[in-house]
Amino acid sequence: MTRTWAIATREYASFFRTPLGWIVAALFLFLSGLVFAQQTLRPGEPASLRSFFGVWWSMLVFIAPSISMRLFAEELRTGTIEPLMSAPVSEAGLATGKFAGALMFLMTCLAPTLIYAGVLEALSRPDYGPIAAGYLGVVLLGMMYLSVGLLFSSLTSSQTLAFMLTLFVLILSEVGATAAAARLDEPWAGIARSLSVQPRIADFARGIIDTGHVSFFLIMSAFFILSTALALRVRRWH
Amino acid sequence: MGPASGVHQCVYAPDPMIQADRVSKLFGRATPSTGSSRVRGVLAVDDVSLTIEPGVVTGLLGPNGAGKTTLIRMMTSYLTPSAGVIRICGHDSVLASGAARASIGYLPESAPVYPEMRVEDFLAYRARIFCVPRDKRKAAMDRALDRCSLADVRHRRIGQLSKGYRQRVGLAAAILHDPAVLILDEPSSGLDPSQIQAMRALVRDLTMGGPTGKRVVLLSSHILPEVSLTCDRVLIIARGRIRADGTPEQLVNNAASTSRSEYVLETLAGLSESATGAISAGVGGLPGVESVHVEVLGDGSRRLKIRPTAEAGDLREAIARAAAASAPGPALRELSRRTPTLEEVFNGIVERPESLVPASGVAS
């Protein structure tokens, strides 16, 4: 646990030591500010961040892979993976540590957006339930996207490739699930629908915390983190 | 969640040692075809067994692609052996990988480090990874920085340091947790001559230390003088197999007894043609002499290269007497025996064809 935490904190700190981390954070805040100003901060709109959360999932499709792409790919390219994987750290500990570092960075990017809730408070009387639920949904979705990116980052030494593959899979799964849900018969349509994240995020934005949705994101994240650990273990055989 | 949670993995066995038992590594896959099992992949390490003892510097010497790095990577658990068992201080490198890895300090080839980190932060990070207790971290870092002469750059970013400094940062990270076993892959590659000398002294110094006072130090190199100057024991590896094992002197002596020396005789500058001919004939007629090759030197002297037969012992006395008997008066200005250098021993071992090695060749 000490080791996992050491990896997580080093990873988190390294986002601030490289230009990439700052650029991602700036881009994210710029886009979310734009969305807030354009869609929420208008006369007559309800004092909620609902539409704001509604578009965040599509922003995360780009932001999460740009955070996750370097996690292992960078270490594989520079060779620092070797002292890391010959240190007494388990593959699962390594994958979890990297994931936790990336998640902490994503949450750091999200933190300044809390100011929007403050803006709403100043102008009107927002309902904090849906806002809290919305943030929970965004964090859970971010976890799943980061874990997918973590896996692809462990498979290649090219950050660009890791980014592209993650982006491709995230978009394909969303578009594919929606298309399949519309065309296939039951029970396949139901399975396809359950893989789509958009309706789940919409529920969170409405203020509904469904344990089904929460478990979905947690289980998917755990699955991809463990797959990463497996991919690292397989690497020792080659 | 204190540092104690991982401490059970950081206990050391009483005898620091590396043991490899019939270890092989096959990259790609073996396909059993009709009659014989044909190897289609690359057999980087081929049935290696060895024991490396503490207190002395052991060198793994071999040309590029001989399997040095692959063997080392299996010792550090970075790679899993295809066959065989490696034990680090008694811990199996696969089944008790955590304990095995905890007792190793490892400097990989070209010392990969995080360029964006400061030296001190990097060492603190490695100390946490190796579960050095919080109250001992500061002392451990100071000791490692001091031993590797890094105290003046401790606040600098690693990316700004020269190659020599970076190599030392990697070494400091490797000795941070006072490991029982220290493995250095090409520790002096990319260093200038004075840095190589400093590295050599440091490596010799590091055989003392570790939990029992005596440390296992294994280094690899493809540079022969490096190994013969630093190491007490040399393992020569080529095409995935250990070809020779011994002290540098033993290797030369063994080679001298099995391979042939050469005798060189030089006549005085003004010596007549006929006298030279007589000496050449006299020496050539000696038992144990296979051939005599005469060449004329610029100053009028003649050089005789005398090649003995394989069984011949020391022929210097016999050659001197034969030369004296063949020509009246003083005739010689030099008579010497050339034994093979470690370089020649090394080349002989490395280039010797070995039928056991698969035809696909070995490269890692």
Q: Identify the pLDDT of residue A140.
A: 95
- State whether A6 and B125 contact (CB < 8 Å): yes
pLDDT beyond 90 at A164:
yes
Q: Identify the pLDDT of residue B355.
A: 37
Averaged pLDDT, A84-88: 93
pLDDT beyond 60 at B362:
no
- State whether B129 and A3 contact (CB < 8 Å): yes
pLDDT digits 0-9 by tens, A17-40 = 888 899 999 988 888 888 888 877
Instruction: Flag whether residue B114 sits within 8 Å of chain A, measured between CB atoms.
Output: yes
pLDDT digits 0-9 by tens, B195-218 = 888 888 889 989 887 777 889 999
Q: The tokens of A144 are what?
A: 């799943």
Instruction: Flag whether residue B116 sits within 8 Å of chain A, measured between CB atoms.
Output: yes
Highest mean pLDDT among A105-114, B12-21, B277-286: A105-114
Contact criterion met (CB below 8 Å) for B344 and B255 = yes
Kindly state the percentage of chain B with pLDDT values over 90. 36
Whole-number Å distance between alpha carbons of A169 and A180? 15
pLDDT beyond 50 at A109:
yes
CB atoms within 10 A of CB B210: 25
- Nearest chain B residue (CA) to A232: B78
pLDDT, greater one: B39 or A222: A222
pLDDT beyond 70 at B6:
no
Shortest CA gap A37–chain B (Å):
36
- Provide CB contacts within 8 A for A13, sequence distance 6+: B121
Phi, psi values for residue B208, rounded to 5°: -95, 130
Mutate to test the interface with B, among A16, A70, A86 (most CBs of B within 10 A): A86
Q: Identify the pLDDT of residue B31.
A: 55
Q: The tokens of B76 are what?
A: 């550090």
Averaged pLDDT, B291-300: 86
Per the structure, the count of domains in chain A is 1
Q: Which residues of A are less than 8 Å from B129 in CB distance?
A: 3, 6-7, 84, 87-89
Contact criterion met (CB below 8 Å) for B53 and B250 = no
Q: How many CB pairs below 8 Å do chains A and B form together?
A: 86
Phi, psi values for residue B184, rounded to 5°: -120, 120
Q: Which residues of A are less than 8 Å from B131 in CB distance?
A: 2-3, 88
The domain spans of chain B are: 3-103+179-255, 260-339
pLDDT digits 0-9 by tens, B224-257 = 888 888 899 999 998 899 988 888 888 877 766 6
- State whether B108 and A83 contact (CB < 8 Å): yes
A63-67, A72-76, A159-163, B238-242: least confident range: B238-242
The matching CATH number, chosen from 3.40.430.10, 3.40.50.360, 3.40.190.170, 3.40.50.300, for B3-103+179-255 is 3.40.50.300
**Chain A (67-106) residues lying within 8 Å, Cβ to Cβ, of chain B:** 78-90
Shortest CA gap A199–chain B (Å):
38
Whole-number Å distance between alpha carbons of B194 and B243? 31
Q: Which residues of A are less than 8 Å from B106 in CB distance?
A: 83, 86
CB atoms within 10 A of CB A228: 28
Averaged pLDDT score across all residues of chain A: 89
3-state secondary structure of B116: coil
Contact criterion met (CB below 8 Å) for B130 and B176 = yes
- The beta-carbon neighbor of B108 closest among A18, A79, A236 is A79
Mutate to test the interface with A, among B5, B29, B72, B78 (most CBs of A within 10 A): B78
Q: Identify the pLDDT of residue B14.
A: 55
pLDDT, greater one: A124 or B68: B68
pLDDT digits 0-9 by tens, B306-354 = 888 877 778 888 888 888 888 877 888 888 888 777 777 777 777 766 5
- State whether A6 and B129 contact (CB < 8 Å): yes
Instruction: Flag whether residue A238 sits within 8 Å of chain B, measured between CB atoms.
Output: yes
- The beta-carbon neighbor of B112 closest among A18, A83, A90 is A83
Q: Identify the pLDDT of residue B257.
A: 62
Shortest CA gap A226–chain B (Å):
19
- Nearest chain A residue (CA) to B81: A237
Averaged pLDDT, A172-200: 85
Averaged pLDDT score across all residues of chain B: 83
Q: Identify the pLDDT of residue B40.
A: 65
Q: Identify the pLDDT of residue B37.
A: 52
Q: Identify the pLDDT of residue B51.
A: 93
pLDDT beyond 50 at B186:
yes
- Provide CB contacts within 8 A for A125, sequence distance 6+: A47
Instruction: Flag whether residue B135 sits within 8 Å of chain A, measured between CB atoms.
Output: no
Would you tell me the crossing angle of helices A211-235 and A128-153 to the nearest 10 degrees?
20
Could you tell me where the DSSP H helices lie in chain B?
Answer: 68-75, 97-102, 119-129, 134-147, 163-175, 193-205, 224-230, 248-258, 273-284, 316-326, 342-351
Averaged pLDDT, B58-74: 91
Averaged pLDDT, A141-157: 96
| Fold of the B260-339 domain | Alpha-Beta Plaits (3.30.70)
- State whether A2 and B112 contact (CB < 8 Å): no
pLDDT beyond 80 at B76:
yes
- State whether A2 and B125 contact (CB < 8 Å): no
